[in-house]
């Protein structure tokens, strides 16, 4: 059963979905008895959520996979073709995507996600929300370095994102953490930058429930980014529910990749996911995304890809409505799959 959340009437009213729509899978969709769309689906079909002070479509775009082909966040990643990456970003916005997630530590040799976003999309539209994150750090050689834990280093990371994105402020900054240590000093440092006008809204990433309570005592929390998808642990289900009760956006990462994480999706899928995908004439990735969005109206997906066709499929997943029987079947997969 999907997790139910208590939301404001404004956001609940904005999450109406359309009937199932499919793209790039015309033959399969027709064979399965579904009516295939002749044009790509717009991200608006996924519904909307007010993220900070702007309404965004619930299907967004994550840039982690743009700078390279193959696994992300590795020192010797193969740079993606620059023009291909720019086409993907521009196509995302053409399809109505107005929530883009990026970070200064998303880079490969010769390619930077932030620089690609800047080149493809600047000057930025008024309705576009660009979220970034601070905390993790990589050296010029691509290897991980010490996590930013001091106000000085966090400010330096914020300023790096500002420079690379070509902005005088950041729409949303998520504090990405590792472990269970308190976040008060770090979140407080970002709250001061928010007061100074460098940041509009703050979020948290990779957290436990006590981190959320700790941060909320300092400044409003707009969103929580955590790993989540079919097979996630009960602890992540609980955090998703908690965010919904408090009107906080829950933004899953690895919703498609699951245990594959930075390496990407595995070819092994629970049989329940495969059955539904085959019956609907859609990909297993689309089923995973649709299930994720069904977990609550406050859930925003940010799937990433470096391929335009995959991008269009991901956006189309926002219009895929799952039946009660399908949701029950996927709930079995969710609880039967080993937790992350």
The catalytic site residues sit at: 106
Helices 271-280 and 284-293: angle between axes, nearest 10 degrees: 100
Q: Which whole-number Å values give the CA distances from 186 to 105, 155, 216, 219, 227, in the listed order? A: 18, 10, 13, 12, 21
Strands 99-101 and 129-134: what pairing?
A: parallel
Do 117 and 108 form a contact (C-beta atoms < 8 A)? no
Question: How many residues would you count in the chain?
Answer: 340
Structure tokens at 24: 């790039």
Separation CA 250–CA 11 (nearest Å): 13
Q: Which whole-number Å values give the CA distances from 230 to 2, 291, 337, in the listed order? A: 12, 8, 7
Separation CA 19–CA 74 (nearest Å): 40
Structure tokens at 86: 């720019």
**Residue 99 C-beta-side C-alpha neighbours within 13 Å:** 28
């Amino acid at each position: 059963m999907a997790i139910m959340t208590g939301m404001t009437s404004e956001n609940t009213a904005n999450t109406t979905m359309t009937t199932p729509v499919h793209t790039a899978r015309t033959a399969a969709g027709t064979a399965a008895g579904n009516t295939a769309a002749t044009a790509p689906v717009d991200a608006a079909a996924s519904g909307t959520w007010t993220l900070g002070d702007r309404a965004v479509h619930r299907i967004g775009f994550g840039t982690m996979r743009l700078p390279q082909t193959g696994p992300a966040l590795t020192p010797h990643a193969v740079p993606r073709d620059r023009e291909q990456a720019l086409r993907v970003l521009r196509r995302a916005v053409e399809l109505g995507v107005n929530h883009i997630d990026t970070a200064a530590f998303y880079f490969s040799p010769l390619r930077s996600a932030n620089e690609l976003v800047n080149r493809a999309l600047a000057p930025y539209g008024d309705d576009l929300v660009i979220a970034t994150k601070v905390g993790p750090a990589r050296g010029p050689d691509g290897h991980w370095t010490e996590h930013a834990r001091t106000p000085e280093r966090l400010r330096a990371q914020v300023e790096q994102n500002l420079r690379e994105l070509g902005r005088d402020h950041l729409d949303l900054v998520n504090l990405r953490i590792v472990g269970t240590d308190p976040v008060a000093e770090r979140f407080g440092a970002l709250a001061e930058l928010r007061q100074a006008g460098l940041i509009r809204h703050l979020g948290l990433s990779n957290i436990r429930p006590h981190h959320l309570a700790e941060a909320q005592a300092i400044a409003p929390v707009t969103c929580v980014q955590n790993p989540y998808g079919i097979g996630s642990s009960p602890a992540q289900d609980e955090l998703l529910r908690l965010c919904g009760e408090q009107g906080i956006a829950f933004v899953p990462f690895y919703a498609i990749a699951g245990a594959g994480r930075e390496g990407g999706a595995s070819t092994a899928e629970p049989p329940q996911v495969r059955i539904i995908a085959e019956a609907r004439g859609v990909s297993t990735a689309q089923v995973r995304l649709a299930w994720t969005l069904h977990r609550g109206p406050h859930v925003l997906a940010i799937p990433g890809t470096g391929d335009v066709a995959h991008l269009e499929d991901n956006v189309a997943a926002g219009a895929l409505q799952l039946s009660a029987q399908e949701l029950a079947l996927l709930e079995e997969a969710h609880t039967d799959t080993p937790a992350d």
